[in-house]
């Protein structure tokens, strides 16, 4: 499945072009590109494939979650409408309405059973958790000082370099993420993020190497994330406002029709022969209004970006502030510490996403 144009625009995982450029620079004698090349190669070899698989699974499970939840709610609403029509109006085509009501009720029950059995929401959140943590792992690897410290090419007693140690650590982390089940993710969502307070080694000893890494980080990671968050907190925020307005209007309109029904009932303003028919209309609208709101809420719940608009804005504000500090930083060591702070913000953001969506029922 080819990524969409939007996904390509915000892709910070595909480094094929950058790896090729780094190869050319290293072959041309510019050795300060070597740490960046090593970090990107580790990411491509050990992280990218599993990220693509997890990301694809997350998209597929989310679509399944959306289809099932919407099928359950809207078919249930259709069954309620048909049943209400039979009770209030009793038209001559009642047998047709009964068949439609039965079919809609069957689809609703089947959707509920399918959603309960296949657990699309849990599968979606598990795959999304794995994908986002693999993304975090890539940039944690990029900022690992073992790639660019002076002793990076020295062998230890078992014949391994610091770069080999990084590969082993990354491989273990990837295997750990791939072995998770949803219950593990749900448990982790209840835990906080633990900042890395270990000492930063030799931030100023290899300025050229670190300069290339920080330049790549700012362009590929920081800028891409800010563009993504700005996009989703803008257009999605407008849609969220419209859907919230529709739900509010529907609720008050439904309540208004209840008052109309009470007025007709208590006021005796209608002839007795037409009262049952006309008075039934406000009751029908008052009943269907909340059902429509429930369907709209489920539609919003199945699209997590709308539920996360405020979270996107808060994260964007944090990254913009850190990006401003990055531009003011006087040395590479300070830039490196700011980059670590950016990764901490993004890790908090991913954890907050899981905490927010974990409590949402699969039917909204």
Cα-Cα-Cα-Cα dihedral sign, residues 145, 150, 151, 152: positive
- Angle of the 332-358 helix axis to the 309-328 helix axis, nearest 10: 180
Task: Tokens for 69, please give them.
Answer: 């939840």
- pTM of the predicted structure, to 2 decimals: 0.80
- Would residue 155 be called left, alpha or beta, if left means φ above 0 and alpha means ψ between -120 and 50 degrees? beta
Q: How far apart are CA 320 and CA 326, in angstroms?
A: 10
Residue keyed to tokens 């790896």: 19
Q: How far apart are CA 63 and CA 325, in angstroms?
A: 39
Q: How far is C-alpha 52 from the chain's CA centre?
A: 15
Q: How far apart are CA 262 and CA 304, in angstroms?
A: 40
- Which segments within 118-233 are labelled E, that is strand? none
Q: How far is C-alpha 262 from the chain's CA centre?
A: 45
Report how far apart, in Å, the C-alpha atoms of 300 and of each of 31, 76, 348, 363 are.
51, 17, 23, 11
Q: How do the pLDDT tens digits run along the chain, 364 residues long?
A: 444 555 567 889 999 999 999 999 999 999 889 999 999 999 999 999 999 999 999 999 988 988 888 888 888 878 877 777 776 666 666 777 788 888 988 998 898 888 888 888 899 999 999 999 999 999 999 998 888 775 555 666 666 777 888 999 999 999 999 999 999 988 887 887 877 766 666 656 678 888 899 999 999 999 999 999 988 877 554 555 555 666 667 666 766 665 665 555 555 555 444 445 555 666 666 667 776 776 667 666 666 655 678 888 899 999 999 999 999 988 888 898 899 999 999 999 998 888 877 776 655 4
Q: What is the DSSP letter of 143?
A: T
pLDDT of residue 173: 96
Q: Quick check: 213 and 222 in contact, CB under 8 A?
A: no
Q: How far apart are CA 231 and CA 101, in angstroms?
A: 41
Q: Quick check: 40 and 22 in contact, CB under 8 A?
A: yes
Q: How far apart are CA 47 and CA 26, in angstroms?
A: 23
| Spatial CA neighbour of 40 closest among 243, 267, 213 | 213
End-to-end CA distance of the chain: 28
Residue keyed to tokens 């050795």: 31
């Amino acid at each position: 499945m080819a990524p969409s144009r939007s996904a390509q625009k915000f892709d910070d995982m595909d480094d094929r072009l950058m790896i090729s450029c780094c190869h050319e620079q290293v072959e041309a004698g510019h050795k300060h590109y070597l740490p960046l090349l090593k970090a990107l190669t580790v990411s491509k070899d050990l992280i990218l494939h599993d990220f693509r698989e997890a990301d694809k699974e997350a998209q597929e499970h989310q679509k399944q979650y959306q289809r099932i939840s919407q099928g359950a709610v809207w078919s249930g609403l259709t069954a309620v409408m048909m049943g209400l029509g039979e009770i209030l109006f009793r038209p001559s085509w009642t047998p047709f309405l009964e068949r439609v009501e039965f079919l809609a009720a069957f689809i609703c029950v089947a959707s509920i059973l399918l959603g309960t059995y296949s657990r699309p929401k849990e599968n979606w959140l598990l795959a999304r958790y794995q994908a986002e943590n693999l993304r975090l792992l890539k940039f944690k690897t990029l900022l690992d000082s073992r790639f660019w410290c002076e002793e990076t090419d020295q062998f230890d007693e078992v014949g391994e370099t610091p770069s080999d140690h990084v590969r082993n650590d990354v491989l273990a982390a990837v295997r750990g993420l791939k072995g998770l089940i949803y219950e593990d993710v749900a448990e982790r969502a209840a835990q906080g993020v633990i900042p890395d307070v270990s000492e930063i080694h030799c931030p100023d000893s290899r300025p050229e190497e670190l300069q290339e890494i920080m330049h790549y980080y700012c362009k590929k990671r920081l800028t891409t994330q800010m563009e993504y968050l700005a996009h989703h907190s803008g257009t999605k925020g407008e849609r969220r406002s419209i859907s919230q307005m529709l739900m509010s209007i529907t609720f008050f309109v439904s309540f208004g029709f209840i008052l109309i029904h009470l007025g007709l009932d208590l006021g005796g303003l209608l002839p007795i022969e037409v009262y049952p028919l006309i008075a039934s209309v406000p009751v029908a609208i008052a009943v269907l209004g909340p059902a429509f709101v429930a369907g709209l809420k489920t539609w919003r719940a199945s699209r997590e970006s709308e539920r996360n608009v405020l979270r996107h804005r808060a994260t964007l504000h944090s990254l913009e502030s850190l990006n401003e500090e990055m531009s003011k930083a006087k040395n590479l060591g300070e830039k490196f510490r700011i980059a670590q702070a950016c990764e901490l913000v993004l890790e908090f953001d991913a954890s907050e996403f899981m905490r927010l969506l974990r409590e949402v029922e699969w039917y909204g």
